[in-house]
Amino acid sequence: TIIKVETVEPDEVPSSSIANRPTSPSVKESPPLQPLPASSGST
In this predicted structure, what is the pLDDT of residue 27? 47
- Residue 14's pLDDT is 55
Q: What is the dihedral of CA 24, 14, 19, 22, to 10 degrees?
A: -30
Sequence letter at residue 17 = S
Summarised one tens digit per residue, pLDDT across range 1-43 is: 655 555 555 555 555 555 555 555 554 555 555 555 555 555 4
Q: What is the dihedral of CA 32, 4, 9, 35, to 10 degrees?
A: 10
Rounded Cα distance between 3 and 10, Å, is 11
